[in-house]
A and B are shown apart, each in its own frame.
Chain A
Amino acid sequence: ELKVEQNPLFLSMQEGKNYTIYCNYSTTSDRLYWYRQDPGKSLESLFVLLSNGAVKQEGRLMASLDTKARLSTLHITAAVHDLSATYFCAVSRDSNYQLIWGAGTKLIIKP
């Protein structure tokens, strides 16, 4: 059974600091997704990682994938308040398979 664990589940940090969110999954997966969700809103796609060693960056967010360790990280550089949200990782066996989600990391960035 494919399972996904995220940690931490809650993170409060100061603006300007760096931090990393971790996403572990239990069995072989074809692709890994990172999504952002603001309170009461839907899910916004951030990154899709398809291969071992993949690294993608958008602004202050950088995601990486290590398929051998079954681990993905979402790194936040010099955090700003606008990045406050809940971040989810999800994995899928292939392009058509259902997404299996982590519990989410609630990120609060204080001015």
Chain B
Amino acid sequence: DAGVTQSPTHLIKTRGQQVTLRCSPKSGHDTVSWYQQALGQGPQFIFQYYEEEERQRGNFPDRFSGHQFPNYSSELNVNALLLGDSALYLCASSLYGSGGPDYGYTFGSGTRLTVV
């Protein structure tokens, strides 16, 4: 049973460029959330997608956008990259409205983005 898969694992971009990160959720999950984790800090919520719509959004600028596909996979796009966007980007999948035993979120291994 595959867990959450993220690609690429590492990425180096130049300021001002655009980047796309990808996430495939755990089998059976239908909701994808994206988090940004700066070095030495806790993750910060970016947004959540369910039924191909953005359901919740954290305190991130419009430069951060996303998409969810019919197969539940998701993309995170960041435009006009800044040095401060350097971080580990984590994708978490879950089952929307789960009242069963699977209460938790499953995280992928993350994409380490470095902006130079």
Contact = CB atoms under 8 A, between A and B. Distances in A.
A and B: bona fide binding partners: yes
Interface of A: 4, 31, 33, 35, 41-45, 48, 50, 88, 90, 95-104
Contacts of B110: 42
Interface in B11-51: 31, 33, 35, 40-45, 48, 50
Closest 4 CB pairs of A and B: A101-B42, A98-B45, A43-B107, A45-B104
Contacts of A104: 40-42
B42 A102 contact: yes
B103 A43 contact: no
Interface string B43-70: 1110010100001101000000000000
A104 B41 CA distance: 7
Nearest to A94: B97
A31 B103 contact: yes
Contacts of A102: 42
Interface in B97-114: 97-99, 103-110
B87 interface: no
B90 interface: yes
Interface centre among B31, B92, B99 (most CB of A within 10 A): B92
B39 to A, nearest CB: 10
B56 A97 contact: yes
A51 to B, nearest CB: 12
B55 to A, nearest CB: 7
19 contacts: A33-B104, A35-B107, A42-B107, A43-B43, A45-B105, A48-B104, A50-B103, A88-B42, A90-B43, A95-B97, A96-B50, A96-B55, A96-B94, A97-B56, A98-B58, A101-B43, A101-B44, A104-B41, A104-B42
A55 to B, nearest CB: 16
A45 B108 CA distance: 11
Contact of A95 (B58, B90, B99, B106): B99
